[in-house]
């Protein structure tokens, strides 16, 4: 950072002139931030994720008081899985700190007396040895104060840097500090704070109970959980972030690591602007942006159509199998000219050259034959693997807060006709399965009646369900009763 300041500033300024020759006021680049005078003192507003403090707007640089407390405490990693998190401010990621360039930040780090370990903080926004780590090293039951001046605008990671650093970060000790330029970032309608992290637990993903940190897996970079905001489901269902059609959304996205680089993507959106690596460079029309461990990015987009937009690490097994999945729910009226929804369904037959219209049920009925239970299960298993597996998972366990389980499912076993209709027609909205609430979308499946019967037979005869043998006639009856 220091090198950038002294030798790179001119080059950087020249580059930014070239890139933004039309408009954006980059005049502050010329100002030596170290000479910015501060006027007055204020206490910083700190927020828990996914929220961020109010923008700095056009306020002057100030002396900014930041008080942060370190807490070691047990929290929930996933349903039934707990973990002892080490946190800045009681959350993972830690509290969001919002400053403007030229602020003099007086930072007090307090280590709760019941904590076991010493900690410190290395803020990437600090120009100084260790990013403040050496000055903030604090034993349990004590506090340390140091101060720094914010010289470079951007979005920066902070983290604990006490040995063993990897373990402190792996247990959740990271967060973001934003340094806004003079005059603040352009105004948007909604702002949120999201941070990815990878976790390494003694038990495999989903193994219930209190899980301890597994050092060997961490060294091998073999993550059990990859999540947004510290736990599976922190941004899904009722915790989803929200916006209204037509609004502009800005996400401050960080990656605490400790190991994995994020391929950050919002399904069904294109980022209008990405502040690459949290710095001055702005890229436009980006599908997926790479966020390194210990790095950040600011992404901005306008939400044009309503719906649920899934936020993922597009290293996609992390999203569907390890937890890196969030939701942005956008409310408002449909915009058919931008996104139509399904207009027409057909059957694709490569032997003919055109799409055909959906056949009536009598066509299916001609194929009806009474399979044995074993045949139905065998065929149903194949259909399940092709069609259902991605969401409901290999053993019907589903994904916490996103996709309900089919294994030992009270909802499934209670009502066969309802189950058949969900496969035939899809399901949207709130349901409760095994005591947990889900609010998600399942699309209607393009399966024949026989396939529906087989796949449901497979599901009902697996994973502790009630062993119903679903017949084609059940499917037809359920459908006509619908």
Partner 1 sequence: MKTTIRLACIALFALSFQAASQSNMVFIKGGSYTPLYGRDSMQVAIEDFYMDTYPVTNEAYVAFIQAYPEWKRSRVIKLFADGNYLRKWATDKTLGTEQSATAAITGISWFAANAYCECQGKRLPSIDEWEYVAMANESLPDARFTENYNAYILSWYEKPHTSNNDVGSTFKNYWGVYDLHGLVWEWTSDFNSVLISGESRKDVDNDANLFCGKAAIGANDLMNYAAFMRYAIRSSLKARYTMNNLGFRCVKNAND
**Binding of partner 1 by 472 (CB under 8 A):** no
Q: Which tokens hold the place of 52?
A: 């961020």
| Contact region with partner 1 (CB under 8 A), list: 8-16, 29-37, 139-147, 390-398 | 139-147
Window 194-233: residues binding partner 1 (CB under 8 A): 212-213, 215, 219
Do 159 and 167 contact (CB within 8 A), yes or no? no
Judged by CB under 8 A, the residue of 29, 162, 229, 449 near partner 1 is 162
Q: Which tokens hold the place of 143?
A: 């506090």
Closer CB to partner 1, residue 169 or residue 470?
Answer: 169
**Binding of partner 1 by 330 (CB under 8 A):** no
Name the phi and psi angles at 141, rounded to 5. 80, 15
Closer CB to partner 1, residue 164 or residue 346?
Answer: 164
**Binding of partner 1 by 72 (CB under 8 A):** yes
Closer CB to partner 1, residue 138 or residue 274?
Answer: 138
Closer CB to partner 1, residue 80 or residue 164?
Answer: 164
Q: How far is Cα of residue 102 from the mean position of the Cα atoms in its chain?
A: 32
Q: Minimal distance in Å, beta carbon 109 to partner 1?
A: 12
Q: Minimal distance in Å, beta carbon 162 to partner 1?
A: 5
**Binding of partner 1 by 90 (CB under 8 A):** no
Q: Minimal distance in Å, beta carbon 137 to partner 1?
A: 6
Q: Which tokens hold the place of 39?
A: 């006027």
> What is the DSSP pairing of strand 282-286 with strand 271-275?
antiparallel
**Binding of partner 1 by 364 (CB under 8 A):** no
Q: Minimal distance in Å, beta carbon 226 to partner 1?
A: 20
- Distance between the two ends of the chain, CA-based, in angstroms? 65
Answer whether the bond into residue 70 is a cis peptide, omega within 30°: no
Do 263 and 297 contact (CB within 8 A), yes or no? no
- Ramachandran area for residue 465 (φ above 0: left; ψ -120 to 50: alpha; else beta): beta
The structure tokens 């993550």 sit at: 223
- Ramachandran area for residue 365 (φ above 0: left; ψ -120 to 50: alpha; else beta): alpha
Q: Minimal distance in Å, beta carbon 85 to partner 1?
A: 10
Judged by CB under 8 A, the residue of 8, 40, 80, 141 near partner 1 is 141
**Binding of partner 1 by 2 (CB under 8 A):** no
Q: Quote the Cα angle for 186-282-294, to 5°.
A: 100
**Binding of partner 1 by 148 (CB under 8 A):** no
Window 96-135: residues binding partner 1 (CB under 8 A): 113-118, 120, 122, 130, 133-134
Judged by CB under 8 A, the residue of 88, 96, 107, 137 near partner 1 is 137
Is 313 in a helix, a strand, or coil? strand
The structure tokens 């640089």 sit at: 61
Closer CB to partner 1, residue 30 or residue 116?
Answer: 116
Q: Minimal distance in Å, beta carbon 95 to partner 1?
A: 21
**Binding of partner 1 by 463 (CB under 8 A):** no
Q: Minimal distance in Å, beta carbon 141 to partner 1?
A: 5
**Binding of partner 1 by 167 (CB under 8 A):** yes
**Binding of partner 1 by 138 (CB under 8 A):** yes
Closer CB to partner 1, residue 72 or residue 104?
Answer: 72
Do 228 and 255 contact (CB within 8 A), yes or no? no
Judged by CB under 8 A, the residue of 46, 64, 151, 161 near partner 1 is 161
Do 175 and 93 contact (CB within 8 A), yes or no? yes
426: Cβ contacts below 8 Å, ≥ 6 apart:
441, 442, 443, 444, 445
Do 326 and 289 contact (CB within 8 A), yes or no? no
Total site size for partner 1, rule CB under 8 A: 32
**Binding of partner 1 by 57 (CB under 8 A):** no
Q: Minimal distance in Å, beta carbon 15 to partner 1?
A: 30
Window 331-350: residues binding partner 1 (CB under 8 A): none
Do 85 and 42 contact (CB within 8 A), yes or no? no
- Which of these, 399, 72, 74, 73, lies nearest to 210 by C-alpha position? 74
Q: Which tokens hold the place of 189?
A: 């309608």
* Interface residues toward partner 1, by CB under 8 A: 72-74, 84, 113-118, 120, 122, 130, 133-134, 137-142, 161-165, 167, 171, 212-213, 215, 219
């Amino acid at each position: 950072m220091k090198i950038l300041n002294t030798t790179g500033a001119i080059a950087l300024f020249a580059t930014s002139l070239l890139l933004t020759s039309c408009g954006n006021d980059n005049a502050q680049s010329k100002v030596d931030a170290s000479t910015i005078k501060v006027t007055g003192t204020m206490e910083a507003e700190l927020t828990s994720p996914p929220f961020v403090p109010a923008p700095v707007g056009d306020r002057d640089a100030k002396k900014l008081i930041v008080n942060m407390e370190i807490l070691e405490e047990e929290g929930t990693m996933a349903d039934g899985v707990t973990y002892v998190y080490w946190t800045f401010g009681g959350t993972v990621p830690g509290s969001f700190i919002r400053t403007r360039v030229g602020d003099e930040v007086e930072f007090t780090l307090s280590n709760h007396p019941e904590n076991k370990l010493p900690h410190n903080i290395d803020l990437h926004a600090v120009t100084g040895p260790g990013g403040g780590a050496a000055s903030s090293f604090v034993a349990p039951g004590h506090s340390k104060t140091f101060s720094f001046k914010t010289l470079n605008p951007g979005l920066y990671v902070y983290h604990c840097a006490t040995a063993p650093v990897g373990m402190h970060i792996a247990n959740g000790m990271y967060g973001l500090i934003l340094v806004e330029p003079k005059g603040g970032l352009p105004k948007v309608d909604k702002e949120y704070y999201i941070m990815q992290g990878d976790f390494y637990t003694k038990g495999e993903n989903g193994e219930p109970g209190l899980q301890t940190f597994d050092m060997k897996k961490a060294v091998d970079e073999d993550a059990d959980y990859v999540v947004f905001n510290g736990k599976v489901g922190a941004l899904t269902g009722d915790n989803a972030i929200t916006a209204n059609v037509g609004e502009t959304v800005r996400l401050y996205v960080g990656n605490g690591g400790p190991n994995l680089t994020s391929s950050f993507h919002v399904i069904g959106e294109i980022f209008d602007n990405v502040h690459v690596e949290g710095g001055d460079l702005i890229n436009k029309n980006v599908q997926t942006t790479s966020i390194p461990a210990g790095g950040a990015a600011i992404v901005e987009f306008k939400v044009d159509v309503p719906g649920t937009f899934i936020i993922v690490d597009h290293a996609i097994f992390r999203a569907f199998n390890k937890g890196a999945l969030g939701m942005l729910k956008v409310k408002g009226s449909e915009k058919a000219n931008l996104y139509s929804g399904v207009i027409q369904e057909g059957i694709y037959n490569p032997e003919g050259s055109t799409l055909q219209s959906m056949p009536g049920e009598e066509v299916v009925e001609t194929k009806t034959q009474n399979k044995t239970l074993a045949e139905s299960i065998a065929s149903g298993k194949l259909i399940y693997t092709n069609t259902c597996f991605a969401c409901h998972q290999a053993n019907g366990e589903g994904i916490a807060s996103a996709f309900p389980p089919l294994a030992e499912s009270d909802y499934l076993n209670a009502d066969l006709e309802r189950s058949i209709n969900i496969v035939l027609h899809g399901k949207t909205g709130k349901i409760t399965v095994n005591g947990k609430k889900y609010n998600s979308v399942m699309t209607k499946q393009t399966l024949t009646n026989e396939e529906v019967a087989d796949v449901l037979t497979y599901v009902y005869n697996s994973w502790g369900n009630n062993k119903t043998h679903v017949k084609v006639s059940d499917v037809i009856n359920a459908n006509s009763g619908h």
